Structure 1
């Protein structure tokens, strides 16, 4: 997040797009509702009439896969009506003329036709956001998990820059992370092209710094993303695969292909806290300690570094992740030992400028710190890009709308999208073992508009088959008016009746993210 969670409380307008906030991030959803009570206006753009739409002044029920068309329609309205922040654009941005040229023939009426919403609603939303002194954008995987997901995020950045909402308190663009320490994992270098702190592996000076700190030779070639790894494993190009804290046999797209790929891997190691669906396929399973059995730090969605303290000793033969990895490194010939997680954090801070001023003593005293925090007398950073963007001028990166990789046809006439429910967490590795949560949401289902259901002879609670070009699953029908007639929705949490047996593995060409949120499907009564 460019800004902090509590800053939402003082936002004038909050634009929620691609996020079922109250179910996927209920704490932040509660903050947004508190902001509403304080006078904030809310705009929601989503394929489903989710709970937070009841609090919205404007609800744009767009067709899955049409995000960029909507954002371009909003920006076109703002520019044509002269609502852009002219001084901010002049002083703090570049490439504005290209944005104007790209949007020249893209009217709100054209956006409305593509998105399946009212042009007047698009215009009203554009005016509401542009006229706000402090406009915050909140988004999640409904924006990123498309074959044009990266350009979707860039388009949101364009919208925020256009109205002067980057680098101000209670504004910004604020992605909500999907799991509790995803931000921390990325910060630590859990991306194929970066070392800790997003320092590029292709940068010679960065490479030299880490070689000196770690005492090993390092490659300057970026690695592969998860989806690329699975694909190459399926073709026999990867012989050994080490999976840690991930359950791709439920969470990845086109699970039939994933299963073949993992089966084709000569040596599969899984490190996890439970025997997941993926761990059941492994040659070796390394039992890891849970959050309550280890010391360390987690970093949340607002860049806030927080201590995690051990409540109990690890059960059985479980070990903290860092101990397992250290033991493995030693056995592979890397002679480096650590006495505690704090030593690893100290090493991290010494080679990572954004963490340079964070240490356990400060975290103990202050409770938490937000990076960037370059020195030990720095208070941390509540919001980014104050004064100017980190790169200098804020760069407009206009995007042309492109349809989803797979569109409805005669054989598969519906659009299927996926998401989360309040009662389960990711692949149910933990929540699936809790009786109360399973009572609230015991099995997979598909949401269907009642009008569509009547045409197909389907009643609420019927068993139905949902099919795409990747496969077929049987689930329970749940009739609801929150969807348009030609759109269906499935939660991705369940291994039985898995939505990801059906989802499209088509990738965003830049970030290599699969298109989980839109594919062609059909539903039949069993």
Structure 2
């Protein structure tokens, strides 16, 4: 997030939500947004193929067709430029590349977008005006934007919209991706990506590599590694012989589960480190028992870049150990001695190598976390990014063109399947489905279908149906609701016995981020 969660509750005058079911997937942030709307009069724009809860509070709701994000955003930009609602001073002083984007979006009229996106042109115009006319307007998005074969372009389009209106670098504004799990931001910060060291220091840059080689006493590769999806493909092809999987359940969370299973079965050796015997751990040659958040010390970095202390509340059971201890012991047995004595000692190494964390210490975050970048111990942290200038100097506009999703409906598969989460279960259900009260409330998977779509197939609420794509089929209950667009169906991936990711498309990847297209697949449905 460029801004803080507090901004969404107290500062933002307009909040544009796109591709985020905020109250279900980020309940605390969803509550704060709701408070801003109800108590301070903030205006909401909601763009989502499903009528999420916050759509009921929105000034305008845009139920756009899955995969048409760029068409919608470019059309909003078209309106803002045409009606002279842009921030000319911000564009002139702080950005570059605007003219090329202006030329591109000229053809993205609201009328064209209405035909492609399936929303009224007048609503697109209304949304553009509300966003552009506000002094402080924030954009929030989540995986509904990124999990596409053009997810990177979707994000670029959002950034274009924010810069066009000067909604960067000031309170109540910004581009705010909402992280889906408690330490996703921290994992990325620590180099849990294939192309960077901690602090997003690129592996190809010799200066970065030399610094970490000196600190760690080893020679490091000079090229980036593989993403998770690429690693699974490489395992299937026999290029990767062994995998070490920590706290991840790709048998349910990755697209085209049959493809994943075949890849894991092709490995010579699989290690899984987790707190429960997940569907993935069940396939492992060795399972290393880790511990939950309540059984270990350390830090989490949340969605607003706030580094916070985590403290052990209970002792681990049996032979389970904190992840850092397991990794140290494995590395030592492999011939690379790692003798850290505590998470704090590890954090001190992080500070020494990661400029954005340099000023954060355990003592400073004893009671309240600090938002990076924090370059020294006198620095208070950074609630708002890009206040004076962007990291690269001037913000760069990127012209992005709309293109269709990789897999579109046809006669054989006439519907669009989109996937996500619900309020009651978390990710692959590894923890929540072991909680009896939660599982009793939401014990099985469902597929949401619009009444008119259901009528076409003779399906009634509660019927068992077969949902199919080119990857396979699952059986689940039908839930008839007007909260989903006609011609679109929605289901979740929490349930192993009816896993949505048996159906999603592993072959359609974003060319930059290599994220699969979870949010659009051609599908069909039939009553059983």
TM over 0.5: yes
State the partner residue of 2:306: 304
Task: Tell me if 1:498 matches 2:496.
Answer: no
Q: Is residue 274–residue 288 contact of structure 2 (8 Å, CA) maintained in 1?
A: yes
Separation in 1, partners of 2:501, 2:75: 31
> Deviation string for 1:295-353 (max 9, x for gaps)?
00001000000000011111100000000111111111112310101000000000100
- Structure 1 Cα separation of the partners of residues 260 and 81 of structure 2: 45
Structure 1 residues 359-390: Cα deviation after superposition (integer angstroms, max 9, x where no partner): 111111x4210000000000000010011111
Tell me how far 1:289 sits from its aligned partner.
1.1
Which one of the candidate residues 161, 186, 192 is aligned to 1:159?
Answer: 161
Contact 2:329 2:338 in 1 (8 A): no
Secondary structure in structure 1 of the residue aligned to 2:365: helix
Q: How does 1:453-492 map to 2 (within 5 A)?
A: 453-492=454-493
Q: Aligned-pair distance for 1:101?
A: 1.3
- In 2, the alpha carbon distance for the partners of 1:457 and 1:148 equals 35
Q: Using the alignment, how far apart are the partners of 2:460 and 2:403 within structure 1?
A: 36
Determine the structure 2 residue equivalent to 1:426: 427
Structure 2 residue matching 1:14: 3-state secondary structure: strand
Q: Which residue of 1 aligns with 2:268?
A: 266
Q: Give 4+ residue runs of structure 1 displaced > 4 Å after superposition.
A: none
CA deviation after TM superposition for structure 1 residue 453, in Å: 1.2
Distance across 1 between alignment mates of 2:19 and 2:344: 37
Note if 1:514 corresponds to 2:500.
no
Q: Secondary structure at the match of 1:185?
A: helix
Within the alignment, does 1:68 sit opposite 2:70 as a pair?
A: yes
TM superposition shift of 1:178: 1.1
- Structure 1 window deviating more from structure 2 (44-53 vs 96-105): it is 96-105
Structure 1 distance, partners of 2:181, 2:463, is 32
Q: Which residue among 98, 113, 118 is the counterpart of 1:111? A: 113
What does residue 446 of structure 2 align with?
445
Paired residues of 2:450 and 2:489 also in contact (CA < 8 A): yes
Partner of 1:134: 136
1:391-421 Cα shifts (integer Å, max 9, x gaps): 1101001100011000000000000000110
Partner of 1:42: 44
- 1:183-223 per-residue CA deviation (whole Å, 9 max, x = no partner) reads 01001100000000100001110101111111111111100
Alpha-carbon separation, structure 1, partners of 2:461 and 2:386: 50
CA RMSD of aligned residues (A): 0.7
TM-score under structure 2 normalisation? 0.99
> Residue 29 of structure 2 aligns with which residue?
28
Inter-partner Cα distance in structure 2 for 1:86 and 1:485: 40
The number of residue pairs the alignment matches comes to 525
- Name the counterpart of 2:228: 226
What residue number does 2:340 align with? 338
* 1:129 shift after superposition: 0.3
Which residue of 2 is the match for residue 149 of structure 1? 151
Give the equivalent residue in structure 1 for 2:374: 373
Match of 1:391 in 2: 392
| In 1, Cα distance between equivalents of 2:291 and 2:386 | 38
Distance 2:416 2:47 in 1: 17
2:4 aligns with 4
Structure 2 equivalent of residue 415 of structure 1: 416
Counterpart selection for 1:58 from 60, 69, 85: 60
Runs of 5+ in structure 1 lacking a partner?
none
1:285-296 counterparts in 2 under 5 A? 285-296=287-298
Q: C-alpha distance in 2, partners of 1:296/1:131?
A: 43
- In structure 2, what is the Cα distance between the partners aligned to 1:45 and 1:285? 42
SS at match of 2:332: helix
Alignment of 1:97-108 (within 5 A): 97-108=99-110
**Distance in 1 between the 2:351 and 2:413 partners?**
52
What is the SS of the residue equivalent to 2:135? coil
Deviation at 1:170, TM superposition (A): 1.0
* C-alpha separation in 1, matches of 2:198 and 2:492: 33
Q: Distance in 2 between the 1:298 and 1:189 partners? A: 14
Query: Is the partner of 1:362 in helix, strand or coil?
Result: coil
**Aligned-residue offset at 1:104:** 2.1
Which secondary structure does the structure 2 equivalent of 1:363 belong to? coil
User: Which of 170, 175, 178 is the matching residue for 2:177?
Assistant: 175
Distance 2:407 2:427 in 1: 25
Q: Does the aligned pair in 1 maintain the 2:23–2:53 contact within 8 Å?
A: yes
